[in-house]
Structure 1
Amino acid sequence: MGASILVAAISSAFGALLLSATGFIAALLRADPYIGESELLAAVLAIMSFLLVGVAVYVASIVTANTFATVVAGRTRRIALLRLIGASARSQRAEIARQGLIVGVIGAVLGLVAGTLAAGAGVALAAQLLGIEGVEYAVVQPVLLVPAAVVALTTWAAAWAGSRRVLTVTPLQALGGSVEAPHDAFSRRGVRNGGAIALFATGGALLAGGIGLGLVSPLGVIVAFFGGILSFTGLALGATLVMPPVLRLVGRMFGRSATARLAAENALRYPERSSRMAIGVVMGVTLVTMFAVALETVKAVFAASADGPLPADLTTLMDTFAGIMMGLVAVSAVIAAVGLVNLLTIGVVQRRRELGLLRALGVSTGQVRRMVLLEAAHITITATVTGLVLGVVYGWAGAQSLLGAVPVPPAFSAPTLVAPAVPWVPVAIIVVATAVLTLIAAVVPTRLATRVAPVEALAD
């Protein structure tokens, strides 16, 4: 449960930092004698605070659910054995749900304390470095309890949902090693796949509608926000149908050797686990890219509305805001890395028999290590490309729907519609950072894989 506690703690701290950062920025802007009384600015800040909290809650929900569901899947044999000797399904499910709630509360409390302390230190440092005077902002506020409560409840809900899926497996199937369902089983889920497609299409339509409404009112960003949530949820639900074939296609780029083919085929043999790993990385890359593109597109929208370059002080303020937000959002990449190393590790543990059989057939330690690293590389490449595309779309849609109707002096030429502005340097940093995090995340699983003794694994 250590990884689940860590993910819950990081998610809770992430939400607390986001709330504190946006609140501090709002206090700075309100203290400005020129723009502090702007009702439009107040509305934009309120909308941004709402959206940032929503993003934090959504990230915490997806990552925590995926992590705990995989932990539960790894305990299938133990649960099946307890059912075989007389334990009821209801008691097992209640135990898992209770453990999920305890894990969520512990992680949420630790994250809340750490996030509040970090926010207090950040506010004090920012005030000192920027020479800010006369701005009062209380870091400790009741609203910080919201992300912690949501993380705790989400972990409990994830444990409850995951336990229902695991307890549908018969004891004999679980004792025989049938933990993960095959790809065909997920391909035949007509209701789930149809719902995923409907959610993705509905989200796309709302995104387009939000951009159109954003040319009239900043409230268009709310429509676009729900469009992004629905479309990404549809992608997450349909991941077991879409991701494995894409992962296998990417795997063919690494050659036709036996090791490379085994790594590529594992995506289809374990579709649920590989899809969870891919979606976790996709979400982290999408979130960071989205904010980078959104902030760059904001500059483009303002410049187009002003019909000229932006004032130096406004550019400095926006760059400062961009730096703060990118630093906060980068935490999502850490969350994705924790989830990835947890999923890769559990995958190796669940495949002890397979790895032992490969070793018994003559596969060397180096080949096993290379196979696990190639699986991580497949996930990284697929998830990074998908996340970059989604991040560009979501970031542009968010900035355009929020500020397309905001006039900027001296031209005041609103409504304004611009093309997506992609900051290539941050994008390159995102790609390199994701690759490095994936390599670090694969260290523990590869060490476990190479330590599997053939005799011990086959005797399991």
Structure 2
Amino acid sequence: MRMRLRDYTASVLVTMLSAAFGVLLLQGTAVLTTLIAGDTIGEKESVQVALSLVAAVFFTIAVYVGGVVTANTVGTVIAGRTRVIALYRLVGATATSLRRAVAVDGLIVGVVGSILGLGVASLISSVSVSVGVSTGAIPALSYEIFSPQLVAPVIAVVLVTWLASWVGSKRILEVTPIQAGAAAVEPSQEETASRAVRNATAFTLIGIGGVLLAGGVLLGQVSMLGVLVGLLGGILSFSGIILGAPLFMPPILRLVGRMLGRGPAGRIAAANAIRNPARSTRATIGLVIGVTLVTMFAVAAQSYVDIINASREAYPADYGDSDQVLALTITVFAVLFGFSALIAAVGMVNNLSLSVLQRTRELGLLRALGFTRGQIRRMILAESIQMSVAAVGFGLVLGIIYGWAGAMSLLGSILGSDFSLPSVPWLVVVLAVVAAGVLSTAASVAPSRRATRISPVAALAVE
């Protein structure tokens, strides 16, 4: 079995962005290292080590996010093609062979996207350095933009994409030939709650990750290596959140949905989150990832600025000339975490669009029962709003926690700062919230218009 090319468009884009992110991290760190080498702050070995640690952390986050988004995209595509997969099973294809075919497609997507990402990142870096030197923004030094190390992010992204496709295609094992004569069936709330092993694993990961995250913050007060412990804790805890999301996200969505009114469209929108927990979670988790990333990096960057300023006041001899380094570091990493947010945004928009388009049959049934096109659109809009509110609220909480923990675990010791509360740049957060709302609404409303243009009879005949 081979998926259609358009099913993988978002995955290719996510893979390209992930690879470009990793390559830019290495190139940006090399440029920063060259720039600060002659400064007072740059002479500190701890600063050089900190830059390397930050690059490693950001690269790991980029690859991890790309893998999660790719796995979620593949899972969404397969969920919408349950009947087609069942037909393959009916004519003799095994679940293993079908899953292997999806994994091969994922490997191809990884190779193509990574090569494109390497080219895009190299072009951006070359042009940026050339413009910076010609305009006098940065001195004319010998910047090492191209190095053999750039192969590492390309290989890493290819392997992660292949693994994400394999993990995302696990649903194929659950598809039986009998489903060839029926529409795609999503697990119910009761089935989701009864998955004892999955749920126990999710809560175990959250618990262990939370302990490691706290340990990283404490270790960060005496050593910058605490950021590595915090990174592991963040990955484990967020993996547990994603794994357990079908269990606790639907109730949050339903609570938000009740605030949208008691009309037919609002009630159905609120009930859909509980009736189809897997589908609503797939559509929501991309937005959670995006908001978490943007908030996390914004809080970490603001905490970084605050700690630098506090250290400059306490140790003016060591940090008195840090203005240029501070500005350059923030600029470079602002571009880099922007790539991470873009990765999550692409996955979010793709999953929301696919989720609506794959519900053509369901929307046709509602039309046959008397719903007008306007009511269908209002229902989709209500679902989009409830997903946006729930995901944004959840993502803000996670982002503030992760951003503060990352800043404290890395900078708590090397800059001599005291234990402090999170620094939240509310302007950035508000802009992220507005962008998330616009993206989620546009991603849901546009495909819903296409779906409602089909007559109820034709929609009910859609496979």
- Give the TM-score category using the shorter length: over 0.9
2:245 matched residue in structure 1: 239
Letter paired with 2:259: M
Are 2:110 and 2:157, in contact at CA under 8 Å, matched by a contact in 1?
yes
Q: Report the Cα distance in structure 1 between the residues aligned to 2:327 and 2:39, rounded to whole angstroms.
A: 21
Letter paired with 1:425: L
Q: Does 1:7 align with 2:14?
A: yes
Q: Report the Cα distance in structure 2 between the residues aligned to 1:344 and 1:178, rounded to whole angstroms.
A: 17
Are 1:333 and 1:434, in contact at CA under 8 Å, matched by a contact in 2?
no
Q: TM-score, length-normalised on structure 2?
A: 0.92
Structure 2 CA distance for partners of 1:290 and 1:6, relative to 1, 3 Å = same
Q: Does 1:359 align with 2:359?
A: no
1:411 matched residue in structure 2: none
- Tell me the CA shift for residue 225 of structure 1: 1.4
1:222 to 221, 228, 240: 228
Q: Deviations over 1:119-152 (max 9, x none)?
A: 2222223334453224222322232232322222
2:294 matched residue in structure 1: 288
- Tell me the CA shift for residue 204 of structure 1: 1.2
Structure 2 CA distance for partners of 1:426 and 1:319, relative to 1, 3 Å = farther
Q: Report the Cα distance in structure 1 between the residues aligned to 2:169 and 2:297, rounded to whole angstroms.
A: 35
| SS of residue in 1 equivalent to 2:191 | helix
Q: Report the Cα distance in structure 2 between the residues aligned to 1:53 and 1:282, rounded to whole angstroms.
A: 20
Q: Report the Cα distance in structure 1 between the residues aligned to 2:345 and 2:218, rounded to whole angstroms.
A: 36
Larger displacement relative to structure 2 (444-453 or 255-264): 444-453
1:83 matched residue in structure 2: 89
Q: Does 1:147 align with 2:142?
A: no
Structure 2 CA distance for partners of 1:223 and 1:130, relative to 1, 3 Å = farther
Q: Report the Cα distance in structure 2 between the residues aligned to 1:74 and 1:377, rounded to whole angstroms.
A: 23
- Tell me the CA shift for residue 155 of structure 1: 2.4
Percent identity of equivalent pairs: 48
Q: Does 1:67 align with 2:73?
A: yes
Q: TM-score, length-normalised on structure 1?
A: 0.92
Flag structure 2 segments of 5+ consecutive residues without an equivalent: 1-7
1:22 matched residue in structure 2: 29
Letter paired with 2:111: V
Q: Report the Cα distance in structure 1 between the residues aligned to 2:60 and 2:51, rounded to whole angstroms.
A: 14
Letter paired with 1:428: V
Q: Report the Cα distance in structure 2 between the residues aligned to 1:147 and 1:448, rounded to whole angstroms.
A: 39
CA RMSD in angstroms comes to: 2.1
Are 2:114 and 2:157, in contact at CA under 8 Å, matched by a contact in 1?
yes
Q: Report the Cα distance in structure 2 between the residues aligned to 1:378 and 1:155, rounded to whole angstroms.
A: 30
Structure 2 CA distance for partners of 1:416 and 1:266, relative to 1, 3 Å = same
2:3 matched residue in structure 1: none
Larger displacement relative to structure 2 (375-384 or 329-338): 329-338
Letter paired with 2:383: E
1:203 matched residue in structure 2: 209
Q: Report the Cα distance in structure 1 between the residues aligned to 2:460 and 2:202, rounded to whole angstroms.
A: 39
1:403 matched residue in structure 2: 411
Q: Does 1:249 align with 2:249?
A: no
2:418 to 410, 416, 419: 416
1:386 matched residue in structure 2: 394
Q: Deviations over 1:180-211 (max 9, x none)?
A: 21121111111111111111111111111111
Q: Report the Cα distance in structure 2 between the residues aligned to 1:126 and 1:172, rounded to whole angstroms.
A: 63
Q: Does 1:322 align with 2:324?
A: no
2:181 to 170, 175, 181: 175
Structure 2 CA distance for partners of 1:62 and 1:303, relative to 1, 3 Å = same
| SS of residue in 2 equivalent to 1:238 | helix
Letter paired with 2:451: A
Q: How does 1:45-124 map to 2 (within 5 A)?
A: 45-124=51-130
Q: Does 1:430 align with 2:432?
A: yes
Structure 2 CA distance for partners of 1:341 and 1:317, relative to 1, 3 Å = same
Flag structure 1 segments of 5+ consecutive residues without an equivalent: 408-413
Letter paired with 1:374: A
Q: Does 1:332 align with 2:340?
A: yes
Are 2:72 and 2:168, in contact at CA under 8 Å, matched by a contact in 1?
no
Are 2:349 and 2:439, in contact at CA under 8 Å, matched by a contact in 1?
no
Q: Report the Cα distance in structure 2 between the residues aligned to 1:9 and 1:76, rounded to whole angstroms.
A: 28
Q: Does 1:345 align with 2:347?
A: no
